[in-house]
Amino acid sequence: MSSTTLSEAYRDHPLSLHHVIPLDFNTIPTVPDSHLWPPSDDDFPSDDRLSIPVVDLMDPDAVKLIGDACETWGVFHLTGHGIPLSLLEHVEVEGRQLFSLPAEQKLKALRSPGGATGYGVAQISPFFPKYMWHEGFTIMGSPLEQAIQLWPDDHKRFCDVMDDYQKQMKMLAEKVISLIMRSLEIHEEMIRIWPEPAGTALQLNSYPSCPDPNRVMGLAPHTDSLLLTILHQSATTTGLQIFKEEVGWVLVYPIHGALVVNVGDLLHILSNARFPSVLHRAIVSQSKHRLSVAYFYGPPPDFNVTPLVKCLNSDQMTGFLSVTVKEYISIKAKNLEKALSLIRI
């Protein structure tokens, strides 16, 4: 089997907006027209007391709790995950340090036209008529190449923290996926259905404070493409919202030390649509700079994704065409939210 890396898979689909660079948010006194979003009609306030489930990984019932959370919400808070609090703090400190660099310094690590990694606007930006109040930094594997540009003599700590974080997140993602598989009654020996190396990415998201937060968008509504996303959101301010049918946008309040896990498109496919790939977005604050760190986990790019036999209905009908991860990335890069419906049977 030929082995494509995830960054190669993304490199095949360069952003048509690669020349667009994030604003210098620190110096801008008012929101420019390019960043003013029209009010949307699904913005009615939803029930404030509603919140996503919390699952403790150490709970003896974790398999059932995670399975239920994936089925009813597609997203949950995860506690008892074993990731040291100090590592979560370090990744946030390093992220804040990166985004607080002067704009011209950050541009030295600008994502290149054909590249998938580095500093820049969100990859989904070309699909929206307005720009987001957001800057991102994408890492696939080692961040060394970009970190050297940012800090020629002082990049070791940043790289070490990002490497350590990705290692720990990979183990956690695999643990969570094995529990999800068990919730689908897939036996231990059948759980590892794809080979190494997994396709993974780490995204640092920065949402500067905004003079007019209600008229901008932090990160536009989207679903994540891979199997599973594990998100650490800074506890200093809220921002993440998920869309729940018949309810509307539900705020995901940060729980100190907990991580947010959400189902992505590939897990929606594997589960034959039993688990929803949850639509989510980020809003911004007037006074606080918000940071989030998202880890994306999926099978290797050449792996064929097709609904698990255990998830087929009694008539054995599969709901999706079989696609490789790479093919799905390509369909998504061209069609964004229509991607899943294009492969539905």
Ligand X SMILES: C=C1C[C@]23C[C@H]1CC[C@H]2[C@@]12CCC[C@@](C)(C(=O)O1)[C@H]2[C@@H]3C(=O)O
Q: Spot the catalytic one: 11, 281, 290, 344.
A: 290
CB-based burial label for 336 (10 Å; 0-12, 13-18, 19+): middle
| CB hemisphere CA count around 253 (13 angstroms) | 7
Using DSSP, state whether 78 is helix, strand or coil. Answer: strand
- Give min distance, CB of 298 to ligand AKG, in A: 13
Selected binder of ligand AKG within 139, 240, 261, 339 (CB under 6 A): 240
Would you state the structure tokens that stand for residue 122, as one six-digit string?
A: 């969100």
Cα pseudo-dihedral 76, 303, 11, 205, rounded to 10: 10
Answer with the entry of Fe ion, ligand AKG, ligand X, none that 233 interacts with (C-beta below 5 to 8 A by kind): ligand AKG
- Shortest CB 188 distance to ligand AKG, Å: 31
What's the farthest any 2 CA atoms get from each other in the chain? 62
**Active-site residue flag, 192:** no
Per-residue binding string, Fe ion, 177-216, x by CB under 5 A, is ----------------------------------------
Parallel, antiparallel or unpaired: strands 75-79 and 259-263 = antiparallel
* Euclidean distance between the first and the last CA atom of the chain, given in angstroms as a whole number: 27
Tell me if 117 contacts ligand AKG by CB under 6 A. Answer: no
3-state SS class at 202: strand
Q: Give the nearer residue to ligand AKG in terms of CB position, either 75 or 147.
A: 75
Which residue's CB is nearer to ligand X, number 65 or number 252? 252
- Which residues form the interface with ligand X (CB under 6 A)? 10, 122-124, 138, 201, 203, 222, 224-226, 294, 296
- Which residues form the interface with ligand AKG (CB under 6 A)? 203, 205, 219, 224, 231, 233, 239-240, 280, 282, 292, 294
Catalytically annotated residues:
290
